[in-house]
Amino acid sequence: MRSQSKFVTLGAATGAAVMLFAAAAWACVAGPTLAAEPRSVPAGSSVKVSGISWNGDLPVVVRFNALDGPILGTFQPDPVSDRLDATVTIPAGTAPGNYVLIGTQQSADGKFAIIPSRALVSVEGTGGAPVLGAPLNAGAADRPVGLTESDPVSTGSLVLAGVGVAGVALFIAGAGVYFSTRRRPQPETAPVAK
Amino acid sequence: MKKRTVAACVLLAATLAPVQTQVLAQERVQVTAPVQATKFNLSPARTYGVPDFAVDPEDPLHILASAVDLRTQVCGTMQSFDGGQTWEPLESSPSPDNYPLCLMTNSHTIQGKLAFGSDKRLYYALAGWDTQDAANRSVLVGRSEDMGKTWQTTIVRDTRGLTGEKQEPNRPISGFVVDTSGEQDVLYVSWRQQNRLTDPNRKPNIPVMSVSTDGGATFSEPINLVGQKFADPAVRAEALKVVVPPTPSAAPAAAASPGASPGVSPAASPNASAAASPTASASASPVAPNEGAPASPLASPSPSPRPSPSASGPPPPGSPASSPDQQVNFGGSNPSLAVDDKGTAYAAWVTSYQNIKGTTRPAHFITRTSDQGKTTEVFQITPFAKDNVNNFGGLDLVWSPQGGENGTLHLVYEGSRTPEVASEADVFYRRSTDRGQTWSEPMVVNDDDPKQLFFSGLPNLSIAPDGRLDVAWFDTRADPGITSNDVYYAHSSDNGASWSKNVRISDRSIDRRIGVFAQNFDLNGPPGIASTEAYALVAWDDTRMFDSVTQGQDIFMSAVQFEELESGTSSTLKYVLAGVIGLLVVGLLFVLLALLVRRRETAAGVRTV
């Protein structure tokens, strides 16, 4: 019975998952995308850029590393599918590091018509290995783990407290010894025989 | 000599006496390392959405959170006893057996909403449906007297059995608050009521609210929050005045509103449109207008083609489609709720339209009720303007007692500093100190460079017991070009007069090529926030543990800490312990001294003998 229940649960979950992901085809798409391939190349190499959801009526300007950076090319997306497929060349002499290719579309008045889309490209150093510039996704390594608790009582103050109490105790003991010593009757001197 | 010794002892004792030095916590903000809250689930298919939080009124370290797996579509709960650093799942779900699924296929929403009532009673607002329900989505509220271990669930709006044009694909549940000022909890739950009407009778979405005055045992019929606002021709004229007519060269889809598009790119920013429907039947049917429409006039056509009126002749007189300037063509979406200390409830919502050709401009309104929904008043928050970039959601409302006898209403929503650029979004903030009747000019909370045209959207707003306002949102400013976004945060300690510098919460950009945040699923919501005086816990859906095959999501959290937490052991106890140890040391000294004296005396006795 239990295994049957598990089977039903598993089946329902699988079915739900299938339904959920099959439904993707019905979802709407907003905004453009841009991807570069390969993502790691030497300077002066060609890179394929592609993306979807561009405005098929406007050209896509691909710039290098900034919204006002060098134009690597201007391309017309497919007017039916709104898809962009193009090839650009990374400027020769580009220092090794990480850069973004930025796709933009501007309306007739020269203003941006749609939000830009960015794609990462790593320019390799000599020897073919990518030399990364600014670290990608640098985590905040210096963050504390967990919430910080207050500790107004430092170790030093606790030591002081202990020593203080000990001092008071010693003082009391010493005072007791002192007074008991003062009040102790002195042994009488034996009379000297005359 | 002895007098000098005594004086020295007194001085030493006075000097070494325990001194309570109060170390005042300096005000500083630090962000903790993120934790994987859902690591208790080892399933490689887990796909969690952003959670909602409820902080135990008596213990700010005890937090409950909704844990909704978007893939299995089951609403769960988890809890933490250490301020969100570790989490454990609660076995029981508020979903009844006959409404086992709770997913609301929508962007810009947190799937399950939690709130505490009186006597630590926990409430959970969620959707309910099963595969038999086709497009219908019911609204449920669960009650728990034992902190989520068991649930009693009430059906607020039962849509089961509705067919054809009467179906109600209600989504999402956008507001949930509990008024604890009276003898019994009063619950308010709100959502966007959709319809399945077809041309020429299509109608816009309606923001609705249902009220329970008996602690969630029963609920009222849904209350239309738009009221008679659009019965006023002047208000309609104001909305119609700013409609941009469709361009003749545009494709049929160009009639859609660009205001429906807060997204930036499909992966890094969410689609404003309604997300994928979870069932084949629901998917195949037309989604509501404006949501189902393309994100912008530039985007691809809607997947659900609508019949062209021109193809079937003019709409019949008297039908909604016959003229845009009719009350029936004006509605609203995604009401967000707040309640003040006098029991007045507020619902902020954004306009929705139907049968209006061209590009409409949204506006925000607020509905106020002081008698638990029996009567309502509606006030306008924002003008009908193109800088309101989201026409179906992306807003959040809270109330704070600061700011005068009425307190202050605070609203965040998706606006744009560059509305001429499609899909650009920013976090806008306004406030009202006269119970919603008038509102301040907008402030932009995100402090990125506007020239870079980054996306800053899906804002969430929360308030700490001391009045600090916490805002968190998703932001693409740190995207290195991998279609990612990050969680950013700002706070206000002066009741919204000014906002802090933005703080990056996520420790690494969240790869949105993985998971269901975008990628045509668009199952996303604003970051969850739990606000306490000492810290704000911020949660998001994170894909770092997955890849393009597993496509899952975890819930990750980091805390923004303002005050150090009180240590578990009291200071007094520590000092007492230190004193006891000091006495023990002295006692030990005396014992040693006594032993030494005794030994000497013994030795002296031996010698004497």
Which of A52, A144, A170 is opposite residue B30, by nearest beta carbon?
A144
Instruction: Give the per-residue SS3 of B117-174.
Output: CHHHCEEEEEEEECHHHCCCEEEEEEEECCCCCCCEEEEEECCCCCCHHHCCECCCEE
pLDDT in tens, B496-555: 999 999 999 999 999 999 999 988 788 999 999 999 999 999 999 999 999 999 999 999
Picking from A33, A101, A107, A57, the residue whose alpha carbon sits closest to that of residue B271 is: A33
Six token digits for residue B493: 């300690």
What average pLDDT score do residues B470-496 get? 95
* pLDDT > 90 in chain A, percent: 42
Taking only residues 245 to 284 of chain B, the set having a beta carbon closer than 8 angstroms to any beta carbon of chain A reads 249, 261-267, 269-280, 283-284
List of chain A residues whose C-beta atoms are within 8 Å of the C-beta of residue B426: none
* pLDDT > 70 in chain B, percent: 83
Looking at A121-130, B91-100, B249-258, B575-584, which range is the least confident one? B249-258
d(CA B411, CA B430): 5
Termini Cα distance of chain A: 119
Residue B247, Cβ neighbours under 10 Å: how many?
12
Which of B418, B568, B586 is opposite residue A170, by nearest beta carbon?
B586
Looking at A146-150, B265-269, B377-381, which range is the least confident one? B265-269
Q: For B269-282, b where at least 16 C-beta lie within 10 A, e where not — what string?
A: bbbbbbbbbbbeeb
Q: Is the pLDDT of residue B9 over 50?
A: no
Looking at B83-87, B105-109, B332-336, B549-553, which range is the least confident one? B105-109
How far does the CA of residue B170 sit from the closest CA of chain A (Å)? 17
Which of B103, B507, B589 is opposite residue A143, by nearest beta carbon?
B507
Question: Which positions ≥6 away from B38 have C-beta within 8 Å?
Answer: B46, B48, B67, B78, B87, B554, B555
Query: Domains, chain A, ranges and CATH?
Result: 27-124 (2.60.40.1930)
Give ∠ CA B494-B496-B500 in degrees, rounded to 5. 75
Picking from B166, B165, B152, B157, the residue whose alpha carbon sits closest to that of residue B129 is: B157
pLDDT in tens, B182-203: 999 999 999 999 999 999 999 9
**Type of residue found at B465:** P
Q: Is the pLDDT of residue B463 over 80?
A: yes
pLDDT in tens, A93-140: 999 988 999 999 998 888 899 999 999 999 998 766 666 555 566 667
The pLDDT of residue B285? 29
d(CA B335, CA B193): 10
Phi, psi angles (nearest 5°) of residue B387: -80, 0
Confidence tier at A33 by pLDDT (50, 70, 90): confident
Question: What is the bridge-based pairing of β-strands B503-504 and B484-492?
Answer: antiparallel
Q: What is the ipTM of this complex?
A: 0.74
Question: What is the bridge-based pairing of β-strands B554-561 and B30-31?
Answer: antiparallel
Structure-model confidence comparison of residues B21 and A153, the more confident one: A153
Taking only residues 91 to 150 of chain A, the set having a beta carbon closer than 8 angstroms to any beta carbon of chain B reads 98, 100-101, 111-121, 136-140, 143-150
Are B416 and B426 within 8 A, CB to CB? yes
Q: Which residue of B has its CA nearest to A23?
A: B276
Looking at B248-257, B332-341, B531-540, which range is the least confident one? B248-257
Taking only residues 430 to 449 of chain B, the set having a beta carbon closer than 8 angstroms to any beta carbon of chain A reads none
Mean pLDDT rounded to a whole number for chain B: 85
The pLDDT of residue B522? 87
pLDDT in tens, B25-34: 344 689 999 9
A159–B10 C-beta distance less than 8 A = no
How far does the CA of residue B432 sit from the closest CA of chain A (Å)? 32
Give ∠ CA B515-B519-B523 in degrees, rounded to 5. 65
Q: Which residue of A has its CA nearest to B304?
A: A26
The pLDDT of residue B348? 98
Which of B300, B566, B578 is opposite residue A158, by nearest beta carbon?
B578
Q: Is the pLDDT of residue A20 over 70?
A: no
Taking only residues 31 to 90 of chain A, the set having a beta carbon closer than 8 angstroms to any beta carbon of chain B reads 31-36, 52-55, 57-58, 67, 82
Are B107 and B269 within 8 A, CB to CB? no
Looking at A97-111, B98-112, B146-160, B282-296, which range is the least confident one? B282-296
The pLDDT of residue B508? 93
Q: Is the pLDDT of residue B251 over 50?
A: no
Q: Is the pLDDT of residue B368 over 70?
A: yes
Is residue B590 within 8 angstroms of chain A, CB to CB?
A: yes
List of chain A residues whose C-beta atoms are within 8 Å of the C-beta of residue B275: 27
The pLDDT of residue A190? 65
Phi, psi angles (nearest 5°) of residue A14: -65, -45
B32–A143 C-beta distance less than 8 A = yes
Looking at A27-31, B3-7, B283-287, which range is the least confident one? B283-287
The pLDDT of residue B211? 98
pLDDT in tens, A170-190: 888 888 877 777 766 666 666
Q: Which residue of A has its CA nearest to B551?
A: A21
Taking only residues 70 to 109 of chain B, the set having a beta carbon closer than 8 angstroms to any beta carbon of chain A reads 70-73, 82-83, 85, 100-101, 103, 105
Confidence tier at B596 by pLDDT (50, 70, 90): confident
Six token digits for residue B387: 């800088």
Question: Which positions ≥6 away from B63 have C-beta within 8 Å?
Answer: B53, B54, B55, B56, B79, B80, B83, B84, B530, B537
Q: Is the pLDDT of residue B169 over 90?
A: yes
Six token digits for residue B202: 């299509």
pLDDT in tens, A35-92: 999 999 999 999 999 998 899 999 999 999 999 999 999 999 999 999 999 999 999 9
What average pLDDT score do residues B341-353 get? 97
Picking from A106, A63, A52, A84, the residue whose alpha carbon sits closest to that of residue B295 is: A52
Burial class from Cβ neighbours inside 10 Å (0-12, 13-18, 19+) for residue B305 reads exposed
Radius of gyration of chain A (CA): 40
Are B399 and B433 within 8 A, CB to CB? no
